[in-house]
Amino acid sequence: MPEVISWEVASRVASTVAGYYPEPPVSEVETLQSDLTSVFLQAGQQVAEATGLEVPGSANPVVMSRSEWAKANIVSFRSTIAPLLEQLAQKLPRWRLSSVSAGLAGVQLGAILGWFSSKVLGQFDVILADASGSLNQDQVYFVAPNIISVELKYGFDQKQFRHWIALHELTHRAQFNGVPWMREYFKGLVQESISLANPDPGAFLAALKRVFDEIREGRNPLDENGPMGIFASPEQMVTLNKMTGLMSLLEGHGDVIMNRAGESDIFESVRFAEVFTMRRNSKQGVAKLISQLLGTDAKMRQYQEGARFVTSVEQAGGSSLFMKVWGGPEYLPNIAEIRTPDLWIQRITEISQVRGSDI
């Protein structure tokens, strides 16, 4: 059966687009690798103390070029959407499946990932580790040109900034490797989202009508969940809201911990956080539209809303109350509870009362 996406074309285009951005000298990349390696053990211990999540073993930082990051994520993307592509290949007329259409899809995907490769600083990706067949799931990826260019642009202290971003990614490692059920639950949500996808062209046209209706009523259909929210069915929205709530929790928790865990060693952490908040909120014009279309605007809100949830819950009941989120999937906040933490606190109080445990 012909492929819906040419993965070879996607990889080639991603490398080309990523290559538009200059790579730093080899000596600077080697220094970055050395700095991250030297601080990783300490950062892992700081994250464990700040989160209360114990993770066996130690992680390894892997420094990448933009092209290497884009190619690695094509592997992840291919693994993730494989079931959807099989459905699409079966439903589309044979004449719609050709090397030309597959190549065009590859160009589009490669261009998107190539563009993203210039934005990402670090990544701990559960699906990427599994898709690559790596037995070492303790690798954390860092994109060297992006880190170095941010440091130069804002005059950041290199060692402190590298320590700071390491704390964020190692917090994600603690969330997925230190919470026994989290890895499989997350992957299950991803697969559920894919299984509910409807490649029917009629459904696509119905979704476009909803977009026009939203615009006529003065609302931006991209504001809430990005492009995924536009084309999601009501059934998919249930899963999407679970995923959005989970990602908001994980990203917001990562932001809180990166500032808390290193506060005694990273004296510039307050400035780092202020600069990144400004960067997230400063997109205008074409850049703003691209961020909305690719869903990155929704991701930026995840950081902010998730961090507010963590601090609000801790203010209400201390770290012991927040730690209940790791008790099982039923304890996770949905997106409404992320935005109104009192709803989550009330629900968790009721669960605790039914089960006869203290909150």
Give the pLDDT of residue 92.
55
Please, what's the b/e burial string for 27-48 (b: 16 or more CB within 10 A of its CB; e: otherwise)? ebbebbeebbeebbeebbebbb
Q: How far apart are CA 198 and CA 194, in angstroms?
A: 9
Span 164-176, pLDDT tens digits: 999 999 999 999 9
User: Where in 43-184 does DSSP place strands (E)?
Assistant: 60-64, 122-123, 139-143
pLDDT band with cut points at 50, 70 and 90 for residue 287: very low
Q: How far apart are CA 273 and CA 267, in angstroms?
A: 12
Burial (CB count <10 Å: 0-12, 13-18, 19+), residue 94: exposed
Per-residue pLDDT for 233 more than 50?
Answer: yes
Span 77-95, pLDDT tens digits: 777 766 666 665 565 555 4
Which one is predicted more confidently, 231 or 318?
318
Span 192-214, pLDDT tens digits: 776 665 555 455 445 545 555 55
Span 247-280, pLDDT tens digits: 899 999 999 999 999 888 899 999 999 998 887 6
> Domain extents for the chain?
1-179
Over residues 121-127, mean pLDDT: 84
Tell me how many helices (H) and strands (E) the chain has.
Answer: 16, 3
- Read off φ and ψ for residue 140, nearest 5 degrees: -120, 130
Give the pLDDT of residue 108.
79
Q: Which residues pair with 63 in a beta bridge?
A: 142
Q: Which residues pair with 140 in a beta bridge?
A: 61
Share of the chain above pLDDT 90, in %: 42
Question: 92-101, 131-140, 226-235: which has the highest mean pLDDT?
Answer: 131-140
- Options 3.90.1150.10, 1.20.150.30, 1.25.40.10, 3.40.50.10130; CATH for 1-179 is 1.20.150.30
Span 306-348, pLDDT tens digits: 999 999 999 999 999 999 999 999 999 998 999 999 999 999 9
Give the pLDDT of residue 288.
43
Please give the C-alpha separations between residue 83 and each of 39, 75, 101, in angstroms, as whole numbers. 40, 14, 19
